[in-house]
């Protein structure tokens, strides 16, 4: 699959309110959109400190956590926190790879303030999202956490979801 088009990676910032309506939220994402170029892949890991990127000697491995959210999938903050706890006190780069736009960021922001978002076109498959995110993250140890299908009734509003 050609991942060079239609992919954006953006930080979750204070300007993006978890309660914002979807058009303004989409605008915020669009403003922050950074298109990946293949030649940038190894030298500029999007959204991450370049000095911490791959290829430089380090004492400890760099750890990344990818949360994979295809359309209509959710991940609970508890599960996310569990994924982070598995790495102990290490710094973890969190990337949320979404197909479509996430509509509820509050829960995730509370759990992980500096998460990065990777926005793929709606309809992107789970496997493609995983591969896409893997190309972007700088970690030596990369843990992938898949979301679950959105509950139909009585959904927990604190879940992070895509539509």
Site residues (CB under 8 A) for other proteins?
Answer: 54-55, 57-62, 66, 127-128, 130-131, 133-135, 139-144
- Minimum CB separation of residue 29 from other proteins in Å reads 23
For residue 76, count CB atoms less than 10 angstroms from its CB and return exposed for 0-12, middle for 13-18, buried for 19 or more: middle
The H or E element spanning position 30 is helix 22-31
The residue among 72 and 143 lying less far from other proteins, judged by its C-beta, is 143
Farthest-apart Cα atoms in the chain, separation: 50
Which residue lies nearer to other proteins by CB, 143 or 158? 143
Q: Which is nearer to other proteins, 22 or 58 (CB)?
A: 58
Q: Which is nearer to other proteins, 42 or 114 (CB)?
A: 42
Query: Long-range pairs for 29-34 at CB < 8 Å and ≥24 separation?
Result: 29/101, 29/117, 29/119, 32/8, 33/8, 33/119, 34/8, 34/9, 34/10
Least separation in angstroms between CB 14 and other proteins: 30
* Shortest reach from residue 23's CB to other proteins, in Å: 32
The least CB distance from residue 128 to other proteins, in Å, is 8
Q: Please, are residues 12 and 108 in contact by the beta-carbon 8 Å criterion?
A: yes
């Amino acid at each position: 699959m050609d991942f060079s088009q239609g992919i954006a990676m953006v930080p979750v910032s204070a300007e993006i309110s978890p309660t914002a309506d979807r058009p303004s939220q989409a605008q915020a994402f669009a403003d922050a959109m950074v298109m990946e170029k293949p030649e940038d892949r190894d030298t500029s890991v999007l959204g991450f400190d370049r000095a911490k990127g791959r290829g430089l000697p380090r004492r400890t491995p760099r750890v990344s956590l990818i949360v994979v959210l295809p359309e209509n999938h959710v991940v609970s903050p508890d599960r996310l926190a569990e994924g982070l706890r598995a790495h102990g006190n290490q710094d973890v780069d969190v990337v949320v790879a979404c197909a479509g736009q996430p509509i509820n960021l509050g829960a995730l922001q509370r759990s992980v303030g500096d998460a990065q978002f990777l926005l793929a076109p709606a309809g992107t498959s789970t496997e493609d999202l995983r591969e896409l995110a893997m190309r972007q993250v700088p970690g030596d140890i990369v843990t992938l956490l898949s979301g679950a299908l959105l509950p139909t009734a009585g959904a927990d509003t604190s879940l992070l979801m895509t539509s």
